[in-house]
Amino acid sequence: MNITKNKDSKNDAFLQAEIESQLEQFTGTTTYYRKSFLFPNFVLTDGTLYLAEVCKAYWLLNLIASFQEHEDIKNNPYLQRGTQFWELEVKDSKGLLTCECDEEKTVIKQRIDDTDFPLQKIRIWVGKTEILGSLVSVAFLPSEY
């Protein structure tokens, strides 16, 4: 599917609905993808790879990957063993990326001054799993849980 961003707000709403509909189709994953040499222990699922490609959002996943070394995540036993709940909210080409842990406690907030991300909101979860003997962080869509 070829989706391009258009400045018309009616088309933007259609584009957003189309992308969201496609993202809801992802349940589970067939493959894990290493897409960044900078973050070899951070992998994507079918759904997050689709998100990165269609929304041109590799930057978003690299940003989440970079936060895996942040002291608020690295030193939090729950976030190292459990699930991290990331959310990007976009309004007027500005974004706010947050990471929450148990009981909706926000541990990371990152403002994004300018973005053309086509969705108003996206949730990405990150959890740990073992792949070929190595513990890796997996970024996945909530529907893939």
Asked if residue 44 lies in contact with residue 9, where contact means CB atoms within 8 angstroms, the answer is no
Question: Checking DSSP bridges between strand 105-112 and strand 94-101, what pairing results, if any?
Answer: antiparallel
Average pLDDT over residues 1-11: 56
Q: What is the pLDDT of residues 66-104, one digit of tens each?
A: 999 999 999 998 898 889 999 999 999 999 999 998 767
Residue spans of the domains in the chain: they are: 9-144
Asked if residue 142 lies in contact with residue 29, where contact means CB atoms within 8 angstroms, the answer is no
Asked if residue 15 lies in contact with residue 3, where contact means CB atoms within 8 angstroms, the answer is yes
pLDDT at 7 over 90: no
Record the pTM.
0.90
| CATH architecture of the domain with residue range 9-144 | Roll (3.10)
